[in-house]
Amino acid sequence: MKVIIGAAAGAIALILLIVLGAAYVLLDDSSSETDAANSGGGGLQGVPTEFRKWIIKADAECKEPAMTPALLAAQLYQESKFKTSVAEATSSVGAQGPAQFMPGTWATWGRDDDNNGRNSPWDIGDAVMAQGRMMCSLLRQAAASGYPGGPRALALAGYNAGWGRVQQYRGVPPQSFAGGETYNYVRLILSTMTRFQGPALIPASFTGSGTGADALRKASAELGVKYSYGGGTPSGPSTGFCDGINGYLNGRCDASRTEGWDCSSLVQYAYWPKTKLPRTAAAQYGATSDRAVSRSNLKPGDLLFWSNSSGFIYHVGLYAGDGKVLHAPRTGKRVELVPLASAMPERDYLGATRP
């Protein structure tokens, strides 16, 4: 969020555009906002686990329609590549932490959001929430300004160079300003947002309430997180293990090096701590089978089970409404929202229960 004066910065940014293969995009981002909204712009993928919940939270606390998790993620990637060490996330002009705050700006936006007793730009939770608050304010100013370019482009320019520069140029500063750093900063982030864009957090038509609905909403924040056999706890995603059959990808044990969820850990996490379900799909069925639900009477948050020909229950997911299931499918995939009919082989569908 700092401007480095000089032609070298513009040249570096231009080289990055070429290396990343990012096509030049118009600085008017209004059409991309429409596309994101139509495709379920609330989703997120491809970010480190420790950043994910804070990005989702920062987005949720901002009511500006142009704000999305992918926007915050792309901006963090541009600022620091999600780095958090002093050596890797301190700029030459003194910006600090993964969101690259200057000390004076941090004094305005920084808070102890992770409740660890300190207010620090080096803490991921504090940094991302401060980034979200600042961007939300800038998006609001951008929408009210009437300047051309779209609120996202204007807000990003304000984050990088200060809103005063946006006012000075009545839009995104041109390439001639600061060696093109702000101009290219905006272009890079807008062009890389799709890299972090995941599916919608929950079906657009879902407005339910209650224990099941709360569990579904909690699980939906994990959309895009990788599958890890044996991974996941009530506290969050974790690395898993391989057992001689499961957890392998391309001949290697993927689970032991992948932080994520398997099907039952995601369900357990979604309901915890209000309802403390056991760990495996079979045990979860055993704990809830006395509350069976017909397929015609499914409600969001109901547990869906699949079993093989021998009767072994091998998979569980959460009914998400609109005939869809939210689940962690298998090694090599990510937590996803898909039609119930195609989530697993239809012949293996065992039934549903309500915790």
How high is the pLDDT of residue 83? 96
pLDDT surpasses 70 at 342: yes
How high is the pLDDT of residue 209? 78
How high is the pLDDT of residue 58? 93
Cβ atoms 300, 212 nearer than 8 A = yes
R_g of the chain, CA atoms, integer Å: 22
Give the separation between CA 256 and CA 241, rounded to whole angstroms.
5
Helices then strands, counting H and E runs in the chain, come out as 13, 10
Cβ-Cβ contacts under 8 Å for 307 (sequence gap 6 or more): 313, 314, 348, 350
Cβ-Cβ contacts under 8 Å for 88 (sequence gap 6 or more): 80, 81
Domain range 7-196, its CATH number among 3.40.50.2300, 1.10.530.10, 3.40.50.720, 3.40.50.2000: 1.10.530.10
Rounded average pLDDT over 184-209: 78
Where are any strands of DSSP class E within 76-185?
none
Cβ atoms 124, 116 nearer than 8 A = no
How high is the pLDDT of residue 26? 35
How high is the pLDDT of residue 20? 33
7-196 and 211-353 agree in CATH topology: no
How high is the pLDDT of residue 259? 86
Task: Compare 49 and 221 and report the one with higher pLDDT.
Answer: 49
Q: What are the residue boundaries of the structural domains of the chain, listed by start?
A: 7-196, 211-353
**Predicted confidence (pLDDT) per residue in 259-312, tens digit:** 899 999 999 999 999 999 999 999 999 999 999 999 999 999 999 999 999 999
Give, for 338, the enclosing helix (H) or strand (E): strand 336-339
**Predicted confidence (pLDDT) per residue in 95-140, tens digit:** 999 999 999 999 999 999 999 999 999 999 999 999 999 999 999 9
**Predicted confidence (pLDDT) per residue in 38-91, tens digit:** 233 457 888 998 999 899 899 989 988 889 899 999 999 999 999 999 999 999
Q: What are phi and psi of 339, to 5 degrees?
A: -60, 140
- Name residue, tokens 């990788």: 226
What's the first-to-final CA gap in the chain, in angstroms? 47
Task: Compare 204 and 325 and report the one with higher pLDDT.
Answer: 325
Exposed e or buried b per residue across 90-111, where buried means at least 16 C-beta atoms within 10 angstroms of its C-beta = beeeebbbbbbbeeebbeebbe
pLDDT surpasses 50 at 186: yes
DSSP, residue by residue, 37-79: HHTTTT---SS-HHHHHHHHHHHHT---TT--HHHHHHHHHHH
**CATH superfamily, domain at 211-353:** endopeptidase domain like (from Nostoc punctiforme) (3.90.1720.10)
DSSP, residue by residue, 313-337: EEEEEEEEETTEEEE--STT-B-EE
**Predicted confidence (pLDDT) per residue in 291-301, tens digit:** 999 999 999 99
pLDDT surpasses 90 at 324: yes
How high is the pLDDT of residue 27? 45
DSSP 275: S
Confidence band (pLDDT; 50, 70, 90) for 316?
very high
**Predicted confidence (pLDDT) per residue in 225-238, tens digit:** 889 999 999 988 89
Give the separation between CA 65 and CA 138, rounded to whole angstroms.
12
Percent of the chain with pLDDT over 70: 86
Chain-centre distance for alpha carbon 92: 29
Task: Compare 221 and 5 and report the one with higher pLDDT.
Answer: 221
Percent of the chain with pLDDT over 90: 70
How high is the pLDDT of residue 2? 52
Name the nearest CA neighbour of 26 among 224, 167, 183. 183
Tokens of residue 355, six digits: 């915790």
How high is the pLDDT of residue 203? 58
Name the nearest CA neighbour of 149 among 177, 179, 169. 169
Give the separation between CA 193 and CA 189, rounded to whole angstroms.
6
